[in-house]
């Protein structure tokens, strides 16, 4: 048996912290059990509340503008000179396997990330989990260590899908940061059904690890890329967009139910896993290992983490620094108060909120006191009582952008030719484009 631990990571699409163990008001027994019997992280933030840039940070340990993946993979890519975690693990002696989806490289090019095998390319979460279970049953400890990533489409929109359970909108738990409206309840009801399916998949994989005898030497991780696809969450720098699920367990090592409240970024996951695997992460990364926090061998907590947005569909530039007590957001250019991604804009909740969010422009700066205002509803940027805090956090963002060579500090981040071409070709977004041109013509310059 290898002394190096196996690593099995399950990554959901747009889950945020919409799980029972985070108090979201729904039952996710398998994720909750993993948290109760392993480790749960309650202040773990993605670098960008969108799939490709966030996942790019997980695999490179770098913020999006530092690795090149500042938008979706149909317009952007990780720079060729940036090492990827699957490749680094392969170099450290691991067999690397992908089940389902990835969003850090173009479709069908998981090899660019360092995966040696793409076991299943699609399917529902439960189908992927059952396929992974068969694979685990055939794996021998004598085959050496493996790194396996299982990426699901759930709970990405559309929230109403055939074959999935749906809650009664009257019974769902409202979202604290949004008004309690019928369309939002309708969306939550469908979202819950997809989360139940993902939770079922977690249970299937965990039981397969136990049944195969591999669990004792496997780090099992459940996580996601960013917040749920609801207004004021996905594609924003607010807490519902950036705070993400992270639960992990390894028997005999991380199995005591500890809840970690330390401030972390998903840039930190790659160096942590590399250290746990007996390998090493590149020196020039933004993340740092929190293995010492897990093992109790010494860890210096972060004072702050950064989040960002540049491109999703539209140009949506923001830079944010978050401390334990405050969140500061810098907005660039003329933008609506909250820019809704197309899938949210077309949903029931988006239809209810779009006019309110797009009636006014967002301010240049936003500052929130997270203790007094955890839902980030009251912008304190113009409050004289917070002038010192505003200046301090604004200065941290200025320094970060300057030190990292962030192109946004020099003006508009240029769109890639591929991004422009793909946006022009996405005919299903015509209605969204027409609306943008009417409401915010600044945003359609590249479309």
Q: How confident is the model at residue 412 (pLDDT cuts 50, 70, 90)?
A: confident
Q: How confident is the model at residue 443 (pLDDT cuts 50, 70, 90)?
A: low
Q: Are 383 and 363 in contact (CB under 8 A)?
A: no
Domains annotated for the chain, with CATH where assigned, are: 6-295 (3.40.720.10), 305-444 (3.30.1120.10)
Q: What is the mean pLDDT of the chain?
A: 93
Average pLDDT over residues 251-268: 97
Average pLDDT over residues 227-253: 97
DSSP run (H or E) holding 238: none
CA separation, residue 380 to residues 168, 305, 327, 367, 377 (Å)? 37, 20, 10, 5, 10
What is the model's pLDDT at position 447? 40
Minimum mean pLDDT among 126-140, 145-159, 430-444: which range?
Answer: 430-444
CA-based angle 166:167:168, to the nearest 5?
A: 125
Helices 182-212 and 29-37 pack at an angle, to 10 degrees, of 60
What is the model's pLDDT at position 344? 94
What is the model's pLDDT at position 2? 58
Read off the tokens for 218.
């496997």
Q: How confident is the model at residue 435 (pLDDT cuts 50, 70, 90)?
A: low
Contacts of 156 (CB under 8 A, 6+ apart): 13, 14, 194, 229, 343
Q: Are 386 and 367 in contact (CB under 8 A)?
A: yes
What is the model's pLDDT at position 445? 44
What is the model's pLDDT at position 446? 45
Read off the tokens for 126.
């439960």
Q: How confident is the model at residue 98 (pLDDT cuts 50, 70, 90)?
A: very high
DSSP code string of 52-109: HHHHHHHHHSS-HHHHS--S-TTT----TTS--HHHHHHHTT-EEEEEE---SS-TT-
What is the model's pLDDT at position 441? 58
CA gap 270, 318 in Å, rounded: 24
Minimum mean pLDDT among 242-246, 295-299, 348-352, 431-435: which range?
Answer: 431-435
Q: Would you give the distance in Å from CA 401 to the centre of its chain?
A: 21
Q: How confident is the model at residue 429 (pLDDT cuts 50, 70, 90)?
A: low
């Amino acid at each position: 048996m290898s002394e190096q631990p196996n690593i099995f990571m399950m990554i959901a699409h747009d889950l945020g912290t919409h799980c029972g163990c985070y108090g979201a008001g729904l039952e996710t027994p398998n994720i909750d059990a993993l948290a109760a019997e392993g480790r749960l992280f309650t202040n773990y933030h993605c670098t960008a509340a969108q799939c490709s840039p966030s996942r790019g940070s997980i695999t490179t340990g770098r913020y999006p503008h530092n690795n090149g993946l500042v938008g979706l993979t149909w317009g952007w890519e990780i720079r060729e000179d940036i090492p990827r975690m699957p490749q680094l693990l392969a170099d450290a002696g691991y067999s690397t396997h992908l089940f389902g989806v990835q969003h850090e490289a173009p479709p069908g090019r998981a090899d660019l990330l360092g995966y040696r095998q793409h076991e299943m390319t699609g399917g529902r979460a439960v189908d992927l989990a059952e396929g992974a279970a068969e694979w685990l049953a055939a794996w021998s400890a004598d085959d050496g260590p493996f790194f396996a990533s299982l990426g699901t489409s759930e709970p990405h929109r559309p929230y109403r899908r055939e074959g999935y359970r749906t809650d009664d909108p009257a019974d769902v738990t409202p979202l604290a940061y949004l008004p309690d409206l019928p369309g939002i309840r309708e969306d939550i009801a469908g979202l819950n059904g997809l989360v139940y399916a993902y939770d079922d998949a977690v249970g299937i994989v965990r039981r397969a690890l136990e049944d195969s005898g591999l669990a004792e030497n496997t780090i099992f991780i459940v996580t996601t890329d960013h917040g749920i696809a609801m207004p004021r969450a996905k594609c924003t720098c607010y807490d519902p967009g950036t705070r993400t699920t992270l639960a992990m367990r390894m028997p005999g090592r991380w199995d005591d139910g500890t809840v970690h409240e330390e401030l972390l970024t998903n840039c930190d996951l790659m160096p942590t896993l590399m250290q746990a695997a007996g390998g090493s992460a590149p020196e020039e990364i933004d993340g740092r290992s929190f293995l010492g926090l897990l093992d109790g061998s010494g860890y210096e907590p972060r004072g702050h983490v950064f989040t960002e947005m540049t491109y999703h569909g539209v140009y949506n530039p923001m830079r944010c620094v978050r401390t334990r007590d405050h969140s500061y957001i810098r907005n660039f250019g003329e933008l609506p108060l909250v820019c809704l991604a197309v899938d949210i804009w077309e949903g029931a909740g988006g239809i209810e909120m779009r006019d309110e969010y797009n009636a006014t422009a967002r301010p240049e700066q936003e500052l929130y006191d997270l203790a007094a205002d955890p839902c980030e509803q009251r912008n304190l940027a113009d409050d004289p009582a917070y002038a010192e805090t505003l200046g301090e956090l604004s200065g941290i963002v200025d320094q970060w952008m300057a030190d990292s060579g962030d192109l946004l500090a020099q003006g508009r981040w240029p769109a890639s030719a591929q991004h422009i071409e793909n946006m022009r070709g996405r005919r299903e977004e015509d209605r969204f484009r027409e609306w943008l041109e009417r409401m915010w013509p600044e945003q359609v310059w590249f479309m």
